[in-house]
Chains A and B, each alone.
Chain A
Amino acid sequence: MEIAENILLTIATASTPLLIAALGELVVERSGVLNLGVEGMMVMGAVCGFVLTATTGSPWLGLIGAVFAAALFSLLFGFLTLSIATNQVASGLSLTLLGLGLSGLIGEKFVGIAGQKLPSLYIPGLSDIPLIGRLVFGQDPIFYISLALVVGVMWFLFRTRAGLTLRAIGDNHESAHALGIGVIRARYLAVLFGGACAGLAGAHLSLVYTPQWVENMTSGRGWIALALVVFASWRPWRVLAGAYLFGGVTIGQLHAQALGVGIPSQLLSALPYLATIAVLVIISRNRRLTLLNTPASLGRPFVPNR
């Protein structure tokens, strides 16, 4: 029984950063912008969160700092793609490369320092209920934020006027512009939100997952988050399912090893990536359905004509 609870907790911890980063990117892509810089923003969030925590002694300040730092960093991408209309794919890549380099430089003096962990929730009585106590009432704060974000993003996209506007921009920025909607402004806000989410996901890595700073500690999670958005066909609740599926496969392969399954560990380590490819293929196989779901102006630069 306790094993099951522990495993579920571990999976939740592994899935949370993926979920948050993917939700942020989902909003960005819904606005018609493809930001491949998730990995870079995430790693910037991780390093800034850790450095702030280590210098101020407060993981809460670290958390807030991570969110702001990554959002600020995403503005670089916003400037390139929105203000001066450069290629979004290349700009996203440049953000990732720059983020990986810059984070290494910022965090250099902080490698090997034991960090402070963001305290987990503990409600006497409730958190001690067998099996579900710690799952429901005993996790870290970012876990609860991630679930709130799923609901929040769903509500925003499909129940508010602003969400409708954002989706309209993503589907056809010319007509949105003709209707007098500020395309560039809305997209800037979306990019900022994506950056903030990636920063929060990064903070989860350096403040909850493994409370220390290690260069490249995101190790490809930003890219997985990007894949999850496609996997989810741009729907928040499917991002939730995808993130937990991926987290489950990642943790499952370690348990398979500890149980002594005689499969090469490299094959097990490759499973999450192969699974992602397989799922992407299945999801995108139906061309018509994909076109229906994909924000139609995704990846296309927009320049207001004078």
Chain B
Amino acid sequence: MKRSLSVLIASVALALAGNVTAADFKACFVYVGSKTDGGWTQAHDIGRLEAEKHFGGKVETVFVENIAEGPDADRAIERFARSGCDIIFTTSFGFMDPTLKVAKKFRKVKFEHATGYKTADNLTSYNSRFYEGRYIQGQIAAKMSKQGVAGYIASFPIPEVVQGINAFVLGAQTVNPDFKLKVVWVNTWFDAGKEADAAKALIDQGVDILTQHTDSTAPMQVAAERGIHAFGQASDMIAAGPKTQLTAIIDTWGAYYIKRIEAAMNGTWKSQSTWDGLVDGILTMAPYTNMPDDVKAMAMNTEAKIRSGDLAPFTGPINKQDGTPWLKAGERADDGTLLGLNFYVQGVDDKLPQ
């Protein structure tokens, strides 16, 4: 008994010693999903690996995946804070309050929370203007659709998703003012079965372009099977539909992670609230495929204009869904309004769940 115990302790000590690496900086990531989900979490994990590669052996990265939002997140974040992480990235909206709680307790550790709105001295919030890509998608959809109707598989009626739906419709209207958009809410970020069912239902209702704000590749597969076009989300989904994907919004967090880890290492890290877009490289468009050259040229032109700041998707005149004016001609929506967006613009064929 005693002997086996000492063997146990020795082997554990050995393993722990083996765990110590030469890295002098530790960046830790808390994921809500699986790092191979093909969408949201995978995009973050690609960013993590890019950062690790960029810094050579100087930065050690650690992650924990499939952490449920709620009390479990508190514990996972706190475990990281206690285990010597210098900076902790938490990559789901639901991690906001847990991150804030732990950040208050561990003042020396730096925290970064994605897609939320709360900050503290040692807590930054960061997000991406996904809607810029949706605007381009809307334009492409209006050019490519024969029926003039697209389908939108939506997750939850939060501002981020509502921005995407509105931007898509606004983009489409620049090409075809009568363009219609049908929306199905599946109330999940990731459920291949539900997403596929929704895709089929939308196609059966006559849409011939599909876009999704959910993370599985199932809708892309269904679109491929039914022979219509679709847009990918969060990661390049071309593998699921080589003849189907027109383009995809790709979350490219790597550049941001490198920037922030660097700042934390050389002491220039400051708490902030960033909302970057195409121009900052936090968001990129997958190659424009399966479309005629003129459509491709239009898309690239729009992308360039958004990058240069000449074009902002939410620029007046824009009416709300019921026809009441929202933005005057030339007026741009401010970030505050966008971050709390809870209404549709004119032309969306759906009632926003309240």
Contacts and interface: CB of A to CB of B under 8 A. Distances in A.
Interface string B270-309: 0000000000000000000000000000000000000000
Given A111-B36, A117-B225, A265-B185, A258 B201 contact: yes
Contact of A112 (B42, B193, B196, B350): B42
A266 B353 CA distance: 10
* Interface size band for A: 20 to 34
A209 interface: yes
A254 B218 CA distance: 16
A259 interface: yes
A260 B349 contact: yes
A214 B192 contact: yes
B286 to A, nearest CB: 15
Interface in A105-133: 108-109, 111-112, 114, 117
Interface in A215-250: 215, 217, 219, 250
A211 interface: yes
A212 B218 contact: yes
Interface in B19-47: 34, 36-39, 42
A266 B218 CA distance: 21
Interface stretch (B90-98, B102-110, B137-145, B203-211): B203-211
Interface stretch (A6-14, A52-60, A148-156, A165-173): A6-14
B217 A7 contact: no
Best-buried of B187, B201, B217 by chain A (most CB within 10 Å): B201
A210 B218 contact: yes
Contacts of B225: 117
B10 interface: no
Contact of A257 (B185, B192, B196, B239): B185
Contacts of A215: 34
Interface string B192-203: 111111101111
A135 to B, nearest CB: 14
Contacts of B203: 6
Contacts of A264: 353
Best-buried of A6, A212, A214 by chain B (most CB within 10 Å): A214
A254 to B, nearest CB: 4
Interface in A257-300: 257-260, 262, 264-266, 269
Contacts of A254: 184, 197-198, 200-201
A251 interface: yes
A215 B204 CA distance: 27
A3 interface: yes
Interface in A136-170: none
B204 to A, nearest CB: 4
Nearest to A13: B200
A36 to B, nearest CB: 21
B185 to A, nearest CB: 5
Given A205-B193, A258-B202, A111 B38 contact: yes
A211 B217 CA distance: 10
Contacts of A214: 190-193, 216
Interface of B: 34, 36-39, 42, 151, 182, 184-187, 190-198, 200-206, 216-218, 221, 225, 239-240, 349-351, 353
22 contacts: A3-B204, A111-B38, A112-B36, A112-B39, A114-B221, A114-B240, A205-B193, A212-B216, A214-B193, A214-B216, A219-B191, A251-B197, A251-B200, A251-B201, A254-B200, A255-B205, A258-B182, A258-B202, A260-B351, A264-B353, A265-B187, A269-B187
Given A7-B204, A210-B218, A251-B201, 19 more contacts: A3-B206, A10-B201, A108-B36, A111-B38, A112-B37, A114-B217, A209-B193, A210-B192, A210-B221, A212-B218, A212-B221, A214-B190, A214-B191, A219-B193, A250-B197, A254-B201, A257-B201, A265-B187, A265-B353
Interface of A: 3, 6-7, 10, 14, 108-109, 111-112, 114, 117, 205, 209-212, 214-215, 217, 219, 250-251, 254-255, 257-260, 262, 264-266, 269
